[in-house]
């Protein structure tokens, strides 16, 4: 079953964001280089584990400066909004 979460761009500029679903077999990319404008939120669905939680790894890169990047692994619950920033 899938759970819905939000990715909120809390950076000072637009971001390219990729997300890997760590609960799905093969750890597929569920979002690849999706542009999220400053202060916007992107809703996505990820696979839940046996206790109703998800696990993702996000990577972000500033659209105006490719040297500004970040990556983080996060455990998520349904409805959670995750701040993504470099």
The 10s digit of each residue's pLDDT in 6-35 is: 999 999 999 999 999 999 988 999 999 999
Reported pTM: 0.94
CA–CA separation, 6 vs 53, rounded Å?
14
Sign of the Cα pseudo-torsion (49, 4, 31, 37, in order): negative
Q: For residue 45, which of 1, 15, 83 has the smallest C-alpha distance?
A: 1
Could you give all domains of the chain from N- to C-terminal order, each with its CATH number? 2-84 (2.60.40)
**For residue 41, pLDDT beyond 90:** yes
Please tell me the predicted confidence (pLDDT) of residue 1: 86
């Amino acid at each position: 079953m899938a759970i819905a979460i939000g990715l909120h761009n809390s950076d000072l500029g637009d971001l390219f964001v990729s997300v890997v679903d760590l609960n799905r077999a093969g750890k597929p990319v569920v979002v690849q280089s999706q542009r999220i404008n400053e202060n916007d939120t992107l809703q996505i669905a990820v696979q839940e584990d046996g206790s109703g939680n998800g696990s993702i790894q996000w990577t972000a890169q500033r659209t105006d400066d490719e040297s500004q990047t970040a990556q983080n692994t996060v455990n998520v619950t349904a409805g959670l909004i995750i701040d993504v920033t470099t």
